[in-house]
Amino acid sequence: MSKKLYIGISGLIGVGKTTLAKALEKDGWKAFFEPVDTNPYLELFYGDMVENSFKMQIFLLRERFRQQQKIGLEECNVVQDRTIYEDSVFARMLNKSGHMTDLDLKTYLDLFDTLSSLMPRPNLIVYLEVEPEEALANIKKRGRFCEKGITIQYLTALRDEYELFIKEISRVVPVLRIKYSNFPSVESIVKAVQSGYDASHNIIEAQLQN
């Protein structure tokens, strides 16, 4: 891979996005991570989603947009632990589950559309696919206090929304889908990322009739 690449890692909470981003960082990539430790809304959000969902989404949109601006200035390969595009996955899921009003969702999506024209687009999105039950087990294993209220219902709804997102985003950005449990090591995923990008293209052969 000779040119500068920008790859986004996508997937459920607890799937291993940060682990993969750190592996690529060790391989010489510039890594951008989710603002977990600096997020003042995270614990509040999981305590009361109705009250804090819109605030949480706006905070994340701002932080990820700042990341996007920095990514556009990088000269080396870049990997991002969850892209800005995935924020809409959470916003739509929160709206469908009754935790975000239609008005708040519209305001959020309008703001996202305004900012999206100013953002660099990934060369490839790596979707780490995992069952909600496995994701929940990983979340419990890492033991973040703010995530103790995450339920299997929440993760299942999120997974369903992710499937819709992947179909939509793949129209404009190539997506490499990886069944995370099938890979015995992070190194094998790194190799799959490299070969996946080399094989990706958006050419469709037209079927024409005389």
> Concatenated DSSP letters for 146-160?
GGTT--HHHHHHHHH
In this prediction the pTM is 0.84
Measured in degrees and rounded to the nearest 5, phi and psi for residue 29 equal -80, 150
Q: What DSSP designation does 119 have? A: S
Q: Go through the domains of the chain in sequence order and give each one's CATH number.
A: 6-199 (3.40.50.300)
Report whether pLDDT(205) > 60: no
Q: What is the CA radius of gyration of the chain?
A: 17
Residues whose CB is less than 8 angstroms from the CB of residue 170 and which lie 6 or more positions away in sequence, other chains included: 125
pLDDT digits (tens, 9 = 90+) for 71-84: 988 889 999 999 88
Catalytic-role residue among 37, 48, 81, 198: 81
> What's the average model confidence in pLDDT over 144-157?
86
How many CB atoms are located within 10 Å of the residue 166 CB? 18
3-state secondary structure of 78: strand
Active-site annotation holds for 113:
no
CA separation for the pair 36, 82 (Å, rounded):
12
Query: What is the number of residues in the chain?
Result: 210
> What's the average model confidence in pLDDT over 3-9?
85
